[in-house]
Amino acid sequence: MGRHGGTVVSTPPAPSLGGRFVHHTLDLFERCRVAQEPDGSPARFRLTAAALLAVAAVRAADPGILESKEAAQTLGVTLDAILAGERCAPDNEPRAPGNTTHLSVVDAAGNAAAITLSHGEGNGHAVGDTGILMNNFLGESDLFPAGFFRIPPGTPIATMMAPTILQFPDGGVAALGTGGANRIRTVIPQVVTRLLDPSANLGSAVAAPRLHVESNVLSAETFQFGGDDTPFDKARTLVDKHSFFDRPSLFFGGVHIAVRRPNGELEGVADNRRGGVCRIVEEVGG
């Protein structure tokens, strides 16, 4: 749990790696004042990419540091170095696919639940006739940045899944989360930052173009600019490679959000990138 822009942001504790990534990234967004740049501007894309790159670089250098007391200082120094022009692009990060889904629910009383579920790609085995497919997390390299077969037996397996609850200063509450394997840790902070804007539109917060930085590659969506990638010119100077998407892509997850406004109004947005669906259920009768 942490506080960002006056909003309480709650994410899962260990063994979730994703929750810690979300808070560290939001801290870096605040440090370099991402939200003060116009949304969709080259300057904002550059600052966003720099913060994501700082987290990636620090993790690649020391996989366990994000859980340490030195993490915030190390991340801040790394971000400052990147913004000053120092090259910090790791090319050895693990890349992993995934098969993850998310469900967000709120009710009129302000109760909220965010649940992210995954079996990775599955290991091809079901439990009896239950229909439950076993996961393959022991084979997902993104969860073992130090390498396979290096954790003691019995150690809980880490995960990037980071279902998130926001408690706004005005009394509103939001539940959100996404699938997307290692993109989870970069996508959620970008959407949360937009939601922290008091004038935020829920639909645009989900639909806006996203970035991802990993293994010295900047990935970004250009559809909002008609496929023109020049708004990302400043961001791609931070890495050696880039990959652009001229339409919303499932690569960048599927952020599904449910919100209760301070006046009790319920609202939700499901991300079309992964075929999301939103339903508002009203109680009928006594």
By annotation, the residues acting in catalysis are: 100
CA torsion 203-207-209-212 (nearest 10°) is: 100
CA dist 86 and 94 (Å) reads: 23
State the SS3 of 14-54: CCEHHHHHHHHHHHHHHHCCHHHCCCCCHHHHHHHHHHHHH
241 touches 49 (CB < 8 A): no
* β-strands 164-167, 100-106 pairing: unpaired
Q: Is 75 left (phi over 0), alpha (psi -120 to 50) or beta?
A: alpha
CA dist 245 and 215 (Å) reads: 18
Q: What angle do CA 125, 126, 128 make, to 5 degrees?
A: 130
| Count of CA atoms in the C-beta half-sphere (13 A) of 286 | 0
The H-or-E segment that residue 186 falls in is helix 184-195
Question: DSSP label at 58?
Answer: H
71 touches 24 (CB < 8 A): yes
40 touches 209 (CB < 8 A): yes
